[in-house]
């Protein structure tokens, strides 16, 4: 399981150094500039991802069925009953939800929310970014707390829960999608074990579950306790990838951590 540690997101096109006094030095195009605000969110996010990943890996490696790698092996974090896996911590992807909504004939969530906000005479910033508009409308509907708004929020939640239940019943469906929709620069067909975190009260806050030991530990250990009954065929998937003619094969599975 890999996480960025010393480099910014590509759009920042630079890197940082932590100096004495808690100051961050940002290098852009070969020149050093002081710009704490530009890097603070990224640095904190990297720090959080790094330490929560170590914590999650420790839970896996504490189990008797898990054999940690000796040294670094490319795309392998550990072995479970001699099966090598690269651990990927993720969430129920927004794009996956969007795709499934379309298949079901449901409108785009934001389009639906905007329409209902207008009906409820809720004013929102139409010039803001889509994610900000979504957040603003949802929060104003929560504050309004009337039957109309609560019904809208419940409808959206129920639709997401239905999609979640479908992938819990058929994990290979989501696993295949995750392989086929991975980033081209980080493409890989190695065995992957996905840890999918889902906060059903607020899907956008699912990332916070990375620190919820009380939920993570029993879920992960229970999965490992029962791994020996899985057959190779249970884990095998075939997938395609845009721009490649080959059909790829991998062993994969999903552990759902649901709050």
CB 19 within 8 A of CB 36: no
Residues 34 and 57 occupy one common structural domain = no
Shortest CA distance to 251 belongs to which of 223, 225, 224, 232?
Answer: 232
Residues 85 and 171 occupy one common structural domain = yes
Q: Which domain holds residue 242?
A: 51-95+167-258
Mean pLDDT of 168-195: 95
Tens of pLDDT, residue by residue over 190-231, are 999 999 999 999 999 999 999 999 999 999 999 999 999 999
Q: Which single residue is written with the structure tokens 């721009």?
A: 243
Whole-number CA gyration radius for the chain = 21
User: Which of residues 131, 164, 197 is at a domain's end?
Assistant: 164
pLDDT greater at residue 165 or residue 42: 165
User: Which of residues 164, 183, 217 is at a domain's end?
Assistant: 164
pLDDT at 97: 96
Provide the 10 A C-beta neighbour count for residue 165. 10
Residues 4 and 56 occupy one common structural domain = no
Residues 111 and 160 occupy one common structural domain = yes
pLDDT at 22: 46
What the block records as the tokens of 156 is 């959206």
Tens of pLDDT, residue by residue over 111-128, are 999 999 999 999 999 999
pLDDT at 35: 55
Shortest CA distance to 203 belongs to which of 93, 82, 38?
Answer: 93
Residues 119 and 235 occupy one common structural domain = no
Q: Which single residue is written with the structure tokens 């995750």?
A: 178
Residues 171 and 78 occupy one common structural domain = yes
CB 125 within 8 A of CB 136: yes
Domains in the chain: how many in total? Answer: 3
Mean pLDDT of 226-241: 95
Tens of pLDDT, residue by residue over 44-99, are 777 778 888 889 999 999 999 999 988 778 889 999 999 999 999 999 999 999 99
Residues 156 and 86 occupy one common structural domain = no
- Residue 134: in which H helix or E strand, if any? helix 130-144
Q: Name 215's Cβ contacts closer than 8 Å, sequence gap at least 6.
A: 209, 257, 259
Shortest CA distance to 177 belongs to which of 98, 65, 71, 232?
Answer: 98
Residues 175 and 159 occupy one common structural domain = no
Provide the 10 A C-beta neighbour count for residue 125. 10
Residues 235 and 140 occupy one common structural domain = no
CA distance 191 to 187: 12
Shortest CA distance to 254 belongs to which of 60, 54, 90?
Answer: 90
Beta strands in 40-128 (DSSP E): 66-73, 76-80, 83-91
pLDDT at 32: 47
pLDDT at 259 over 60: yes
Residues 172 and 245 occupy one common structural domain = yes
Shortest CA distance to 195 belongs to which of 88, 118, 97?
Answer: 88
Residues 79 and 105 occupy one common structural domain = no
**Lowest-pLDDT range of 28-37, 165-174, 212-221, 231-240:** 28-37
pLDDT at 6: 41
Residues 58 and 40 occupy one common structural domain = no
Q: Which single residue is written with the structure tokens 């890996």?
A: 57
User: Which of residues 110, 141, 164 is at a domain's end?
Assistant: 164
pTM of the model: 0.82
């Amino acid at each position: 399981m890999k996480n960025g540690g010393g480099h910014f997101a590509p759009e920042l096109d630079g890197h940082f150094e932590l100096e004495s006094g808690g100051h961050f030095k940002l290098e852009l195009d070969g020149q050093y500039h002081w710009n704490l605000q530009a890097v603070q969110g990224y640095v904190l996010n990297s720090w959080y991802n790094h330490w929560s990943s170590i914590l999650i890996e420790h839970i896996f490696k504490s189990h008797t069925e898990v054999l940690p790698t000796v040294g670094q092996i490319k795309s392998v974090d550990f072995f479970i009953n001699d099966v090598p896996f690269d651990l990927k911590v993720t969430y129920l992807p927004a794009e996956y939800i969007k795709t499934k909504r379309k298949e079901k004939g449901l409108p785009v969530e934001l389009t639906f929310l905007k329409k209902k906000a207008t009906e409820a005479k809720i004013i929102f910033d139409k010039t803001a970014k889509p994610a900000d508009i979504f957040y603003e409308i949802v929060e104003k509907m929560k504050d309004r707390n009337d039957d109309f708004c609560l019904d809208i929020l419940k409808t959206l939640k129920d639709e997401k829960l239905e999609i979640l239940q479908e992938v819990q019943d058929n994990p290979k469906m989501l696993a295949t999608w995750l392989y086929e929709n991975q980033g081209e620069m980080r493409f890989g067909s190695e065995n992957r074990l996905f840890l999918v975190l889902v906060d059903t009260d607020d899907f956008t806050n699912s990332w916070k579950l990375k620190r919820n030991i009380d939920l993570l530990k029993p879920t992960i250990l229970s999965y490992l306790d029962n791994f020996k009954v899985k057959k190779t065929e249970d884990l095998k998937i075939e997938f395609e990838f845009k721009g490649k003619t080959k059909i790829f094969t991998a062993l994969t599975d999903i552990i759902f951590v649901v709050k």
